[in-house]
Structure 1
């Protein structure tokens, strides 16, 4: 990931790898923009929300960023305070949403499965490790972008 010179390049490197790591039916990488989330990239068995924005409190990736912790959902029908119809219109029946970065996370990575089932501890550990690694890489890219006179350029997706 460190050959990436921008957040967008890092996302493109991670996107196909993350799905394999999670052994999932899909992944998304989500960016926080104020009080909204922007679905930057996805690698899924069917299209989800790439390029769309949602209120941060109406999606689980947003909740993971706001709460600064992993959100684990073995059965999407058992989650409160989300627009369930948005998820039920997709293949998603279980998911994990992992914040990327320390402090106030600005990104999250989510893995989705088409079956409602407990998420294995190993999968959870791998996704959280990936989130920490992405956070470190994003921070380095951001610092290098600022050091080269490109304020905010590292965040362009």
Structure 2
């Protein structure tokens, strides 16, 4: 099968569009590390939600990464909280429930990681194919319109 100039251009553009598709896939591809960072951030957000005011301020995730693990940081902050009162015991229970929920979500995300990775690749490839097919159809339609004008002129 011989390709005309427009089809060759379409093949070239399709191959060039594959580069941003791969780059996008690389950025959005889920890994254990990204799941871990999301888990740590979620834990920190819950901690700050329940204990931020009592401990005298908030910390960002970047501050935590300056040498302490997330668990060490949270344990240190928990020790700085005054002795438990009835209200504090209730807060601790709610915080513990939130941590259990976050941990179960983390385990579920790790369990589903291969499926999530496969789906991410499939979505990116399908988007790339859809764009390539759309470009081909537009090229074919433009050629069809152009042929219609050339027939009228002769």
* TM-score bracket relative to the smaller structure: 0.3 to 0.5
Q: Of Structure 1 and Structure 2, which has the larger fraction of its residues in strand?
A: 1
Greater C-alpha radius of gyration: 2
Given the two structures, how large is their TM-score scaled by the length of structure 1?
0.36
Q: Of Structure 1 and Structure 2, which has the larger fraction of its residues in helix?
A: 2
Given the two structures, how large is their TM-score scaled by the length of structure 2?
0.36
